[in-house]
């Protein structure tokens, strides 16, 4: 057989995805995006560029946003992986970010949406009172061709307010 | 349809938003079928060459490979209205990235491996990359066999033995006399660059040919019927044997209108013994081989009276269609006649040339020619205003078309909302106040037609619980069609919004519709749905009249129930009328509706005349305020105001979403985007790192203004909105740059480097 077609040894690993333990057989070079989509059923993890330049594949690995398209799956064994499918609580309630994306019409085609939600989540977990510029910076690596980002920024700011639940704090005045 | 409107004019929760925020919306690449194979495509490394030999043997030896195909296995050609494009290159390649062969294998690694082992022997031919060169006699011909291709001769005229596949001519009035009468003549040449559609979802398709002969494609296809039809003609099959199902589409913008990723997938599916094949394109393939907004050069010459009246114009437009026709002939026609802009010009002569070059194929792009054309005519308009020392808004207002005026093609459009749209835009821009120091600002006006004649149809069926299923081939790609069509059906049937379910885009289920393109869906499909709902409503009234023992005239339909008008305690719900179950007293309710805009006419290809070439026009006025740093050439956008005549606003938030997204594309393409090729025709920036698209940090505040001038034939007066917002931004930015720093950039994109050159701070570019 041609050496190039020789399959490298596969390995059975356990991944912790959205609080579930999932056993998957992976080749060492497999990327997290493929493993999440194919072996873990997480098709919400989108692939828009396969080169770390669109943000569609953003997931959280131990609470840090990572681009699944350039992350080897083998690197995240033992880590907590969160996708957009983890956002809804077990009793079926939507996360404040999901509510805000719906309410503010921040979703058009929806292809960037899971990545945007995860970038937004990473921001809000670290900074519960972001300014508009901080929101824009946090999603600057997530491309959206449909919305002009207007309502996505608005929705993340609104979710911050809901989550912060600081009654004295008004929604920051949006320029747009 | 009397009484107040219940659903129209509101912004209910988008019907598909929940699935999308849950991450559950299925896109083509998410689909997985039993026994599915994975495909990969081998592509041409050369811009122009004949194929001497293709050796598939090494590819076939790769473990897991189940099918390998090349052009000779599928000798078919597609594209409407000029069938010039092979599924896989047959004897010649015409651009870098053209599909040459394809592989289906048990997994993607094997498919890619095998595709890389396909050996093609080429004999290189001289390539032509510049359309102006390609037009010259003696230029190497891309399609020496052009005359053998089927084409619709009623639609366009080629120039024989040349690379010009279409020469569009429009002659109106007496141009010489017009120029003779003019006080001043202005001239300019304006160039729009090639750029990518930038949809975040790369093209993907799953194709399956059942052994019984039925083909199914699950594809990110904007226009399922158009694609099925094109494929059926190419294969010589009846259309019903080809079923196109479109899942959610991750952005289209024209890139997914017509056959794109499908032909190689079909070529494979014909050879896999019934096993489905999935083909998902990489970002690099999207950039190099799945369509581009082609480059356009526009030369304008306009005669004006001293008071600002436009009296004559000649336009010469060169459209680079790339290696194949795709939409080229129609783009050349619709774009070229749009060079008049939204203005009254009595004498005109327009020549548009659509030219083959050895480059990726130009496909439809949101606003279909009008963006390129308005960059020219609205840049030109500001130069005229400057030359005549007139206010740019005033000169536009004075020349804008109004009801009763004739367009370039000889049409007299109805319900022309240009003047109120301009007025609203100017007032939001505070045009009558002095501008802020250091700033530049501009306002432009545009008009865009919609494809005609073009038909749509819909069925509406009542379910057992009295809810309604609406069958509709309009595809949802983010523009909000599912929500708006649901609103229209609910309003026209008398149902509650939440009782209407849209069943979208499956040609085996949803009846024919030309396309999801050209801002046509709200108008065309909207009317078809209103008719289907009206038909269902008639049937509902008949049954309710029987059940309630009241004459129909005494009944009202609203909120999914039928009420006796004078006694609202007597009513029956839709559920009581649903004749679905066995033993029901009533038969099933199925409404049907179809719509083709009345009296739309074809063009005269000799004169460019057409009395009604579009069902409606999109009228837009857009303002930009910006600042330019004279040391770095960097442009900072401060605001965009975007005013549009919607006819009637069916869903305000959906319209605003279209405006924000469309204007953002306008900003991004005006300032950053440029698909760059090397001298051998290879794309140098086929990724989002080297090809810059606007991010969340680049887009200024966008203010939307919705003007309603009801269209007599629109559903509840509505027209399309989708393409208007991308039309004018580039021209507005160019004009505002001149307003700010006194230099005019006439070729897009407007980069810091071009600004510094224009300011004399960098040496001129070497050609
Ligand atoms: S797919 Fe990972 S960043 Fe684009
Ligand atoms: S909603 Fe389509 S890419 Fe963001």
What mean pLDDT is predicted for residues B746-757? 98
Q: Hey, is the C-beta of A25 within 8 angstroms of any chain B C-beta?
A: no
Q: Rounded to 5, what percent of chain A is helix, strand, coil?
A: 35, 15, 50
Convert the pLDDT of each residue in B510-567 to its tens digit: 999 999 999 999 999 999 999 999 999 999 999 999 999 999 999 999 999 999 999 9
| Residues A103 and A142 placed together within one structural domain of the fold | yes
- Final residue before a domain boundary, out of A86, A101, A133: A86
Residue A37 lies in a domain: yes
Cβ atoms within 10 Å, residue B390: 17
> Does residue B636 contact residue B435 with C-beta atoms inside 8 Å?
no
CATH fold label, B31-127+200-251+256-289: Aldehyde Oxidoreductase; domain 3 (3.90.1170)
Closest by alpha carbon to B516, among B271, B275, B273, B254? Answer: B254
Nearest C-alpha in A relative to B26:
A43
Domain boundary among A57, A86, A115: A86
Pairing of strands B296-304, B184-192: antiparallel
| Secondary structure element (H or E) that encloses residue B394, with its range | helix B392-399
pLDDT (mean) for B469-488: 97
- CB-based contact B76:B84 (threshold 8 Å): no
State the CATH number of the domain containing residue A82: 3.10.20.30
- Topology match between the domains B17-24+454-595 and B296-452+602-758: yes
Distance CA B203, CA B279 (A): 8
Q: Please indicate, yes or no, whether residues A76 and A113 belong to a single structural domain of this protein.
A: no
Q: So what's the pLDDT on residue A8?
A: 64
> Residue B3 — pLDDT band, cuts 50, 70, 90?
low
pLDDT at B606: 85
Nearest-angstrom CA–CA distance, B359 and B241: 33
Contacting residues of A for B16, CB less than 8 Å apart? 107, 110
- What's phi and psi for B116, nearest 5 deg? -75, -15
Does residue A109 have its Cβ closer than 6 Å to ligand 2?
Answer: yes
Task: Supply the pLDDT for residue B55.
Answer: 98
pLDDT over threshold 50, residue B79: yes
Burial of B53 (0-12, 13-18, 19+ CB in 10 A): exposed
Chain centroid offset of residue A87 CA: 10
- Give the minimum alpha-carbon distance from A167 to chain B in angstroms, rounded to a whole number: 26
The answer to whether B491 and B497 have CB atoms below 8 angstroms apart is no
Q: Are strands B310-322 and B347-356 parallel, antiparallel or unpaired?
A: parallel
- CATH code for the structural domain at B17-24+454-595: 3.30.365.10
Q: What is the largest CA-CA distance in chain A?
A: 71
In a domain, A6, yes or no: no
Of B202, B248, B253, nearest to A48 by CB-CB distance is B202
Name all residues whose Cβ lies below 6 A of ligand 1. Answer: A 47-50, 52-57, 67, 69
B569: enclosing H helix or E strand: strand B567-573
At B406 the three-state DSSP class reads coil
Helix, strand, coil proportions of chain B in percent (round to 5)? Answer: 30, 25, 45
- Same domain for A127 and A71: no
Mutate to test the interface with A, among B16, B23, B475 (most CBs of A within 10 A): B23
Task: Look up the CATH architecture of domain B296-452+602-758.
Answer: 2-Layer Sandwich (3.30)
Asked whether residue A15 is assigned to any structural domain, the reply reads yes
Same domain, A99 and A158: yes
- The percent of residues above 70 in pLDDT, for chain B, comes to 99
CA distance B512 to B535: 18
Residue with tokens 């077990």: A90
Structural domain range at position A133: 88-162
Cα B663 to Cα A148: distance, rounded to the nearest angstrom: 7
In 3-state terms, what secondary structure has residue B184?
strand
Please give the interface size between A and B, counted as residue pairs whose CB atoms are below 8 Å apart.
Answer: 174
* Same domain as A25, residue A15: yes
The answer for A 111-170 residues in CB contact with B (under 8 A) is 111-114, 117, 135-137, 139-153
Q: What ipTM was reported for this prediction?
A: 0.97
| Neighbouring residues of B4: CB distance < 8 A, sequence distance ≥ 6 | none
SS3 A31: strand
- Predicted TM-score (pTM) of the model is 0.96
Going from the C-alpha of B366 to that of each of B134, B255, B565, B643, the distances in angstroms are 26, 9, 47, 17
B661 near A108, Cβ under 8 Å?
Answer: yes
The predicted model gives B161-185 an average pLDDT of 97
- Ligand 2 in contact with B200 (CB < 6 A)? yes
One domain for residues A30 and A77? yes
Give the minimum alpha-carbon distance from B644 to chain A in angstroms, rounded to a whole number: 17
Write down how long chain A is.
Answer: 176
Pocket test for ligand 2, best of A48, A58, A105, A109 (most atoms within 8 A of CB): A109
Longest dimension (CA), chain B: 87
Cross-chain residue pair A84–B696, CB shorter than 8 Å: no
- Quote the pLDDT of residue B767: 63
> What DSSP line would sit under B586-625, residue for residue?
SPPPEEEEEE--TT-----TTT---TT--S-EEEEEEEEE
Identify all chain A residues contacting B25, using CB atoms and an 8 Å cutoff. Answer: 110
> Over the stretch B608-658, which tens digit does the pLDDT of each residue have?
898 888 999 999 999 999 999 999 999 999 999 999 999 999 999 999 999
Residues of B with Cβ-Cβ distance to A49 under 8 angstroms? 283, 687-688
Instruction: Centre a 10 Å sphere on the Cβ of residue B586 and count the other Cβ atoms it contains.
Output: 18
Domain assignment of residue A102, yes or no: yes
Residues A78 and A92 in one domain: no
Partners of residue A131 in chain B, C-beta under 8 Å: none
Minimum-distance CB partner of A111 among B14, B113, B251: B251
The helix-helix angle for A150-164 and B652-671 (nearest 10°) equals 120
Angle (nearest 5°) at CA A145 between B528 and B359? 95
Contact across the interface for B23 and A83, Cβ inside 8 Å:
yes
Q: Provide the b/e sequence for B598-611 (b: ≥16 CB within 10 Å).
A: eebeebebeebbbb
- Name the domain count of chain A: 2
Three-state SS at B766: coil
Domain contains A169? no
Nearest residue on chain A to B31, alpha-carbon basis: A43
Of A2, A105, A145, the CB nearest to B251: A145
Q: Domain boundary at A42, A57, A86, which?
A: A86
Q: Return the bridge partners of B308, or none.
A: none
Q: How far apart are CA B498 and CA B269, in angstroms?
A: 40
pLDDT, tens digit (0-9, with 9 covering 90-100), for B220-240: 999 999 999 999 999 999 999
Query: Going along A48-165, which residue ranges are E strands?
Result: 58-61, 64-67, 80-82
CA B342 to chain centre: 20
A149 Cα: distance to centroid of ligand 2 (angstroms)? 9
Cβ distance A145 to B21 less than 8 Å, yes or no, reads no
Q: Which residues does residue A21 pair with via DSSP β-bridges, in sequence order?
A: A16
**A112 and A157 in one domain?**
yes
Beta-bridged to residue B592, according to DSSP, are B459
Q: Are strands B215-219 and B242-245 parallel, antiparallel or unpaired?
A: parallel
**Min Cα–Cα distance to chain A from B24, Å:** 6
- The counts of H helices and E strands in chain A are 5, 5
Question: How far is the CA of A25 from the CAs of A15, B503, B554, in angstroms?
Answer: 10, 38, 69
Whether A3 maps to a domain, the answer reads no
pLDDT digits (tens, 9 = 90+) for B99-128: 999 999 999 999 999 999 999 999 999 999
How far apart are the CA of A57 and the centre of ligand 1, in A? 5
Domain ranges (residues) in chain B: 17-24+454-595, 31-127+200-251+256-289, 296-452+602-758
Q: Which atom of ligand 1 is nearest to the CA of B688?
A: 4
Tell whether B199 is within 8 A of chain A (Cβ).
yes
Low-confidence residues of chain A: pLDDT under 50: 1-5, 166-176
């Amino acid at each position: 057989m041609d050496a190039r077609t020789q399959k490298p040894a596969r390995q059975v690993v356990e991944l912790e995805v959205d609080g579930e333990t999932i056993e998957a057989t992976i080749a060492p070079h497999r990327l997290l995006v493929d493993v999440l989509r194919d072996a873990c059923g997480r098709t919400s993890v989108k692939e828009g560029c396969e080169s770390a330049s669109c943000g569609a594949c953003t997931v959280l690995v131990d609470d840090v946003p990572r681009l699944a398209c350039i992350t080897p799956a083998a690197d995240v064994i033992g880590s907590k992986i969160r996708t957009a499918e983890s956002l809804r609580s077990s009793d079926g309630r939507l996360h404040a970010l999901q509510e805000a994306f719906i309410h503010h019409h921040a979703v058009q085609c929806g292809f960037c949406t899971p990545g945007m939600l995860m970038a937004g989540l990473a921001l809000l977990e670290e900074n519960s009172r972001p300014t508009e510029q901080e929101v824009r910076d946090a999603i600057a690596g997530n491309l959206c061709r449909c919305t002009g980002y207007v309502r996505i920024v608005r929705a993340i700011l609104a979710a911050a307010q809901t989550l912060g639940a600081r009654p004295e704090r008004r929604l920051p005045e949006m320029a747009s | 349809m009397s009484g107040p409107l219940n659903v129209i004019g509101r912004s209910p929760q988008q019907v598909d938003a929940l699935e999308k925020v849950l991450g559950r919306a299925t896109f083509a690449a998410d689909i997985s079928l039993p026994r599915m194979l994975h495909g990969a495509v081998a592509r041409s490394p050369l811009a122009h060459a004949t194929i001497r030999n293709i050796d598939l043997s090494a590819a076939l030896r790769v473990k897991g490979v189940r099918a390998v195909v090349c052009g000779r296995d599928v000798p078919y050609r597609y594209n409407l209205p000029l069938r010039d494009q092979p599924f896989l290159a047959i004897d010649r390649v015409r651009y870098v990235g053209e599909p040459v062969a394809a592989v289906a294998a048990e997994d993607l690694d094997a498919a890619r491996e095998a595709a890389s082992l396909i050996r093609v022997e080429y004999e290189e031919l001289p390539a032509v990359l510049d359309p102006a060169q390609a037009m010259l006699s003696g230029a190497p011909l891309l399609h020496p066999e052009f005359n053998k291709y089927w084409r619709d001769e009623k639609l366009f005229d080629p120039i024989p033995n040349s690379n010009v596949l279409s020469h569009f001519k429009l002659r109106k009035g007496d141009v010489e006399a017009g120029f003779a009468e003019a006080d001043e003549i202005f001239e300019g040449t304006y160039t729009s660059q090639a750029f990518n559609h930038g949809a975040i979802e790369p093209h993907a398709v799953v194709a399956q040919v059942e052994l019984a002969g039925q083909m199914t494609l699950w594809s990110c296809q904007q226009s399922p019927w158009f694609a099925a039809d094109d494929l059926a003609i190419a294969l010589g099959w009846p259309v019903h044997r080809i079923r196109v199902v479109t899942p959610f589409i991750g952005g289209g913008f024209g890139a997914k209108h017509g056959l794109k990723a499908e032909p190689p997938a079909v070529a494979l599916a014909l050879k896999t013994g019934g096993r489905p094949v999935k083909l998902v394109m990489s970002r690099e393939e999207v950039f190099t081989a799945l369509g581009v907004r082609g480059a356009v050069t526009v030369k304008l010459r306009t005669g004006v009276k001293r008071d600002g009246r436009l009296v004559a114009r000649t336009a010469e437009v060169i459209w680079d269609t790339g290696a194949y026709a795709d939409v080229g002939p129609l783009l050349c026609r619709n774009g070229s006649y749009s060079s008049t802009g939204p203005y009254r010009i009595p004498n005109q002569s327009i020549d548009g040339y659509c030219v083959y070059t050895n480059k990726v194929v130009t496909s439809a792009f949101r606003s279909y020619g009008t963006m390129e054309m308005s960059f020219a005519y609205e840049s030109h308009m500001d130069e005229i205003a400057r030359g005549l020392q007139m206010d740019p808004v005033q000169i536009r207002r004075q020349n804008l078309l109004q009801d009763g005026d004739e367009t370039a093609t000889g049409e007299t459009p109805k319900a022309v909302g240009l003047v109120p749209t301009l007025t609203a835009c100017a007032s939001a821009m505070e045009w009558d106040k002095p501008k802020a120091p250091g700033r530049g600002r501009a306002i432009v006006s545009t008009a865009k037609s919609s494809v005609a004649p073009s038909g749509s149809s819909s069925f509406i069926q009542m379910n057992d619980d009295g809810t309604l299923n609406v069958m509709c081939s309009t595809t949802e790609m983010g523009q909000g069609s599912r929500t708006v069509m649901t609103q229209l059906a609910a309003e026209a049937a008398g149902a509650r919004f939440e009782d209407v379910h849209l069943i979208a885009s499956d040609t085996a289920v949803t009846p024919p519709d030309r396309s999801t393109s050209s801002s046509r869906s709200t108008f065309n499909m909207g009317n078809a749905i209103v008719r289907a709902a009206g038909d269902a409503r008639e049937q509902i009234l008949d049954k309710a009249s029987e059940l309630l023992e009241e004459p129909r005239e005494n009944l009202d339909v609203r909120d999914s129930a039928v009420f006796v008008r004078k006694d609202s305690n007597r009513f029956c719900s839709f559920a009581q009328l649903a004749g679905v179950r066995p033993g029901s007293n009533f038969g099933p309710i199925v409404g049907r509706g179809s719509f083709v805009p009345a009296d739309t006419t074809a063009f005269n290809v000799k004169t460019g005349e057409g009395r009604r070439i579009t069902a409606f026009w999109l009228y837009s006025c857009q303002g930009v305020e910006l600042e330019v740093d004279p040391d770095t050439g960097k442009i900072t956008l401060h605001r965009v105001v975007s005013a549009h005549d919607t006819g009637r606003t069916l869903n305000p938030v959906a319209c605003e979403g279209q405006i924000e997204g469309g204007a953002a594309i306008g900003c991004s393409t005006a300032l950053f985007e440029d698909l760059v090729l090397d001298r051998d025709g290879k794309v140098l920036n086929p990724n989002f790192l080297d090809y810059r698209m606007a991010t969340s940090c680049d887009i200024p505040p966008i203010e939307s203004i919705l003007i309603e001038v009801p269209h007599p034939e629109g559903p509840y007066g509505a027209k399309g909105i989708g393409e208007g917002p991308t039309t004018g931004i580039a021209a507005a930015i160019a004009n505002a740059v001149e307003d700010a720093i006194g230099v005019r950039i006439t070729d897009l994109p407007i980069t810091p480097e071009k600004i510094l050159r224009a300011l004399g701070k960098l040496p001129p570019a070497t050609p």
